[in-house]
Copies of this chain bind each other. A is one copy, B any other.
Amino acid sequence: MKLFQPLSIRSMTLPNRLVVPAMVTRLSGEDGFVNEDIRNRYLRFAKGGAGLVVLEAMAVHGSKSGPLLRISSDEFMPGLRDLCTDMHTIGPGKVVPQIIHFLKIARSGWRQKVEDLSIADIRTIRDEYAAAAERSVRCGFDGVELHMAHAYTLSSFLSRLNKRRDGYGGTLECRLRLPVEVVQAVRAAVGDQFPIGVRFDGEECIKGGYTLAESQLIAYRLVQSGVDYVSISAGGKFEDAQPRAGEPLYPYTGYSGDRCMPGKTWPDGANRYLPAGIKTFLRKQGVATPVVATGKINTPELAEEILAAGDADLIGMARPLLADPDWPRKVQGGHFDKVIRCCYANVCKARDEHFQTVACFLWPKGSKQAPESDDTVPPQWDRQLTASTAQGRVSLKWSAATDNEEVYGYDIWRAVEGGEFERIDAIPAPVTAYHDTATISGLGYRYFVQAYDLAGNRSERSIVVEATV
């Protein structure tokens, strides 16, 4: 599989093409130091075998924030250095911190905007990025990723809504000015060999925002400035965020947030046209810089198909690897059938929006981390399943499976008409019912259910039931 071929990015050779993109965890204290929960989260990712693990985002500056790692002064380095060393020991992958600058925001609804920054402020931001990047070299990280996506400072400079008129906004080239200055300052600070990545939006997904037509140019300009890989996200903006009484405005709560982390209602690989369009443009200019695709990429088949089509060089999986950090190891060993599969319920996203610790809906209740087990005994059951229909939906009920350790959940499989069975959802145990609301009359549906345990061992399939709405 192309997915398990190595890839060199400047001084760093990734053992495979799988990336854990930066994900908010809300596991650190507000002090920003590495703690035990953070360590456990990232050691699990490292052990799981992803080729590249991107750490959080961590702040380059001292501004107040919620629980978020920091790399804004040397005092944060020992914890980061130890974590990095231990991740290198426990897994084959490379490790880079994602470094972020964000603007101020208040519960009143007020938020600082890029138009409010003085030239001195802008120079400080540039210098803070450079200093943080230099610290990441001293921590032993394999590279550094600059956060230029979503609702944060550098993304807001890139935005088509950046209205500055002093050479740091307005035209595309001026909107790129600070991001380019940051890349150049970071390069000067980290030296010639250290890989620098950038994560930015392929499309802003807000009214008046930029689209692929400009993000192709943004990618090219960043690469020409010294960037070694580009990781493509989408949306996640303040402009369409939904206000909630008594809480500061939070990006990801509007339509652009849906586009950033496409949930159940979106097609698989919903954003792949963005890395594809950017990669096509870069290659046309003779630039070989690797491109990372993300956004509801779940199965080895889809990941492989994206790589084979040349739509991206690396596959980022956030939610699927949160659900099961061992996805890479299991799939490389030929055991996708043992992967605990994300169902895109976006409970992780909702927890983040409500300022709670980010955990997976599928994990056993109260767990801070994905469970681990070496058990090889699959769940047992009587395979009984029934289907009924009412109000345009199909309702499934099945008898509970049992397991020597613990039944973890059930995958729901469906075939439309004579087509192939596809897994459409998952339900954590002990629930033994499911409602399929994405059904219409005029088509016939067949279903089966399969139980899995903590190690991902699958039971026999239930009987197949048929239904029409």
Which chain A residues have a beta carbon within 8 Å of chain B's beta carbons?
A: 160, 167, 170-174, 176-177, 205-214, 217, 220-221, 224, 240, 242, 254-258, 265-267, 270, 273, 277, 284-285, 391-393, 417, 419, 437-443, 469
Contacts and interface: CB of A to CB of B under 8 A. Distances in A.
The complex is assembled from copies of this chain, and their number is 2
A173 B213 contact: no
A381 B277 CA distance: 39
A265 B173 contact: no
A318 B85 CA distance: 60
Given A265-B211, A273-B273, A285 B440 contact: no
A444 to B, nearest CB: 11
Given A160-B265, A255-B207, A172 B270 contact: no
A224 B270 CA distance: 27
Nearest to A277: B267
A442 B266 contact: no
A267 B172 contact: no
Given A170-B391, A172-B440, 5 more contacts: A173-B469, A177-B392, A207-B254, A207-B258, A210-B265
A227 to B, nearest CB: 12
A267 to B, nearest CB: 5
Most buried by B among A160, A207, A437, A440: A440
Contacts of A443: 217, 220, 285
Contacts of A393: 171, 173
A206 B417 CA distance: 30
Nearest to A180: B441
Contact of A440 (B176, B211, B284): B176
A442 B223 CA distance: 10
Please name the 6 residue pairs, one residue from A and one from B, whose CB atoms are nearest each other, closest first.
A173-B392, A171-B392, A207-B255, A224-B442, A171-B437, A174-B392
A267 B277 CA distance: 10
Contact of A391 (B167, B205, B255): B167
B265 A170 contact: no
B255 A213 contact: no
Contacts of A211: 265-267, 270
A71 to B, nearest CB: 30
Most buried by B among A255, A257, A284, A438: A255
10 contacts: A167-B391, A171-B393, A172-B438, A173-B440, A207-B240, A211-B265, A220-B442, A221-B440, A221-B442, A240-B255
Given A273-B273, A443-B220, A214 B174 contact: no
A214 B240 CA distance: 24
Most buried by B among A171, A217, A224, A285: A171
Nearest to A165: B391
Given A160-B265, A207-B254, A207-B258, A441 B270 contact: no
B437 A391 contact: no
Contact of A213 (B167, B209, B438): B438
Contacts of A419: 284
A208 B258 contact: yes
Nearest to A167: B391
Contact of A392 (B170, B240, B438): B170
A212 B273 CA distance: 15
